[in-house]
Chains A and B, each alone.
Chain A
């Protein structure tokens, strides 16, 4: 069934590029190198590439469903499984969006605590940050898209910092290529997943895109931009760190910031981590928007109410995650769930959905 959206609230298709890219790049890029190198060694850049190809296929699958339904995930679930089961599945999916926002925000606060302010108490900062998220999401999808755009464009200068470690880099570390078994490389793909997550929010904001068919190419481009970025970061990291050093470095990207040295600035990581808030912000905003929009669609409540619920819940659920272990576990959960959602659930959903549609269409005809 078609989901109707006021034309005034729609976004142009090229902005999907930013929505896809902004929600992917978050805290994952700060530390994914260690996880993938654990599995696939310095062949892990191949895993990054493979994850890029895999994601591209998943986007294509999502578009095949969305374009046929002309609606969102809630509608697809209802078509495929009926109202009740469909809604239950939708709610589970929404919880996953919520966990993404939680994991990203909590991890960022942890980074700030570890690298800048060990004394920073979470609550005042989380309060201010979530207030900002509320302010943005209350502005609707257009404001959220705007912040996604700004969150991509403004911190883009951080790419330049990749030049500094190159002075100490040795690309010979990457050789020989294919020194690991394909199964290890595939395990590396699984570890990269956390950094690629989030673009499933497309399933929620799809009805708000103006020229839906045209937006597909932009979604793919946005995704591949992420892949290129990760590839670049991974290759430079592998060339910069030795294997043993990388194994003990939690946030290799941040450690590389420390190499940056300019005539007027030292200890660049302070600037880098502060600017990172602009990368985290769209991440949280898009997830919270998708969550609250889902609440509206499933429970027929006002999205404002859904938004308030999600902000308060995020604030309260910050509580249990006090130390590194807990946060790491949260990230692992989100990563694992995300992996199965992407590569198992969505393809299965697509099969069920297309079969149901075909049967129904035949029936109606």
Chain B
């Protein structure tokens, strides 16, 4: 069977230092040269593209003199860089050189040498979040450098219990992946599950955290994301304090975290910055938007095709007038419009920003009006489909928004076949699927099912902070108490002005 799968992609095994340097020299950006200072100099090797030349010229080369030339130990003492080591471990030397270390030998064929950290960091400045933008609240977003990202999180949680574990993932990319959790709060079972799954990943290159999210999710065949991705360091800090576990991946401006529930996908982080009534109202609007987005077109098709008796007389005449010239059956009319909207969305997402806006106007206004005038679609359906598309964009998590748009189509098909009966069937399939889903082994539909009343405080609505004293039951945290609710209540009573009714 071996011939079938080809040779196993083994890493080339370098045994000696000489052969390592020879292999590395095959790349044109690898520098291996003799730095001459009488009587003999050093042999210096590094990747030009990985090393910060400033460090090399300021902190390393000036210290080459008669004294330091005597031995590597002397040199190590003198240079002002901390991360310096003398080693003869070939494998280690290889890894370090590939990470941007400078390797220095006393003589050309020496077996040991000095590895000095001089890696360059080219990255974007921390900027404003674009996907999860909030009007009020912090405006920092993660960037591609994981060190910066870790710093952004850690400075918000200055506690020794914040654990950060490094795992290298990807056979070729060896991507630095960090599992973050707060020891003493988060459930160890969750951490272990996540750690095991991350370590179990067998893949060549990990480009982004979404790769890892897809590989470690409980059910790969579900259209629903089971881990949330976020670009907000403040959100990561908050969920860590809540007892969840986060993963940061080098090269990705998105952190992922879990375990999560479906309601969390419809809560924007801005909800916590607004007063609780407003936040709860917004969340309800979002839930309504999801229901509307999934159900409106299928209900239209089902009603017009089978159940027009449902509609009261006055409304029916409006509907009939708008549909009287349309040659297509409602199902095809709806599919045509839905596909148009999806085309516009996809084109808008692929095109550069400025062209995208033009396309939006052309598509939205010109095509919409033209297709109604041409008698291809009815006005009312156009309104419904546009509203449904708009509603699907209210979902704060991008990946969930995509899912919402996709699952509308099975509803549409079943609604066209069996009317309302078909829609309820599709709905039952959806519920059954959600019931079976888990996020890191924890039920996905919680707190709706299993019904846990205490977790309703921050699910579909958000109660005032003084009621959020307990961590979610869902997470089974080691430390369940965030703060004393009684104490908070006393303080609040103290602040708020008392009525004089009993005086």
B307 near A270 with CB under 8 A, answer yes
Beyond A143-B436, A150-B449, A277-B428, is A271–B310 a contact (Cβ under 8 Å)? yes
Which residues of B sit under 8 angstroms from A124, Cβ to Cβ? 417
Q: Which of B427, B428, B433, B451 has the most CB of A within 10 A?
A: B428
**Contact indicator B312/A125 (Cβ below 8 Å):** no
Asked if B435 is at the interface of the complex by the 8 Å CB criterion, the answer is yes
- Which single member of A12, A15, A264 contacts B312 (CB below 8 Å)? A264
Residues B163-183 near A (CB distance < 8 A) = none
Instruction: Produce 1/0 per residue, A167-205, CB < 8 A to B.
Output: 000000000000000000000000000000000000000
Cβ-based interface call for A211 (8 A):
no
A15 touches B450 (CB 8 A): yes
Question: What are the residues of chain A within 8 A of B414 when measuring CB–CB?
Answer: 128
Task: Indicate the member of A129, A263, A267 with the most B CB atoms within 10 Å.
Answer: A267
Q: Which chain A residue lies CB-closest to B421?
A: A274
Q: Which residue of B lies closest to A277 (CB)?
A: B424
Which of A32-40, A43-51, A132-140, A217-225 lies at the binding interface? Answer: A132-140
- A281 at the binding interface (Cβ < 8 Å): yes
Please measure, in the bound complex, the distance between the C-alpha atom of A147 and the C-alpha atom of B430, giving whole angstroms: 11
Q: Is the CB of A270 within 8 A of B425?
A: no
- State in angstroms the CA–CA spacing of A124 and B421 once bound together: 13
Identify the stretch in A77-85, A112-120, A156-164, A249-257 within 8 Å (CB) of chain B at 4 or more residues: A112-120
Q: Is the CB of A116 within 8 A of B432?
A: no
CA distance A278 to B430 in the complex (A): 12
Which chain B positions have C-beta within 8 A of A275? 424
A266 near B: Cβ within 8 Å?
yes
Interface readout for B169-212 with A: 1 if CB under 8 Å, 0 if not? Answer: 00000000000000000000000000000000000000000000
A31 within 8 A of B: no
Please tell me if A265 contacts chain B, counting CB pairs below 8 Å: yes
User: Quick one: closest A residue to B314, CB to CB?
Assistant: A263
User: Interface code B422-444, partner A: CB below 8 Å = 1, 0 otherwise?
Assistant: 01110111011101100000000
* Residue from B307, B315, B420, B423 within 8 A of A264 (CB atoms): B315
CB-defined interface of A15-33 with B at 8 Å, one 1/0 digit per residue? 1000000000000000000
Interface residues of B in 312-359 (CB under 8 A from A): 312, 315
Q: Is the CB of A266 within 8 A of B421?
A: no
Q: How far is the CB of A140 from chain B (nearest CB, A)?
A: 9
A contact residues around B429 at 8 Å (CB):
132, 135
Which partner residue on chain B sits nearest A275 by CB separation?
B424
Distance of A169 Cα from B275 Cα, bound (Å): 47
Known: A132-B432, A147-B432, A277-B421. A266 touches B450 (CB 8 A): no
With known contacts A147-B431, A277-B424, A266–B312 Cβ distance under 8 A: yes
Q: Is B233 an interface residue (CB 8 A)?
A: no
> Counting CB contacts under 8 A, is B445 at the interface?
yes
Structural contact, A129 and B312, CB atoms closer than 8 A = no
**A132–B418 contact, CB under 8 A?**
no
Question: Bound complex: CA of A284 vs CA of B312, how far in Å?
Answer: 35
B432 and A112 contacting across the interface, CB-CB below 8 Å: no
Whether B450 contacts A12 by the Cβ 8 Å rule is yes
Asked if A117 contacts B312 (CB within 8 A), the reply is no
Contact at A270–B420, with CB atoms within 8 Å?
yes
A96 in the interface (beta carbon within 8 A): no
Given known pairs A120-B418, A146-B445, A150-B449, the reply for A128 and B307 (CB within 8 Å) is no
Question: Is A149 in contact with chain B by the CB < 8 A criterion?
Answer: yes
Chain A 263-292 near chain B by CB (<8 Å), digits 1 or 0: 111110011011101100100000000000
- Return the chain B residue nearest A131 by Cβ: B429
- By CB atoms of chain B within 10 A, which of A139, A267, A277 has the most? A277
Q: Contact between A139 and B436 (Cβ–Cβ < 8 Å)?
A: yes
Does B435 lie within 8 Å of A146, measured CB to CB? yes
Give the chain A neighbours of B312 by CB distance below 8 A. Answer: 263-266
* Whole-angstrom distance between the Cβ of B476 and the nearest chain A Cβ: 13
Check B306 for interface membership: any CB of A closer than 8 A: yes
Give Cα A117 to B305, complex, Å: 12
Contact B310 A266 (CB under 8 A): yes
Collect the chain B residues with CB atoms within 8 Å of residue A277's CB: 421, 424-425, 428
Q: 4 shortest A-B CB distances, which residue pairs? A: A274-B420, A146-B435, A277-B424, A267-B309
In the complex, 26 of the A-B residue pairs with CB atoms within 8 angstroms, ordered by the A residue number, are: A15-B450, A112-B421, A128-B414, A129-B425, A132-B425, A132-B428, A136-B435, A139-B432, A139-B435, A146-B445, A146-B450, A147-B432, A147-B435, A149-B449, A150-B449, A264-B312, A264-B315, A266-B311, A267-B310, A270-B307, A271-B310, A274-B419, A274-B423, A277-B425, A277-B428, A278-B427
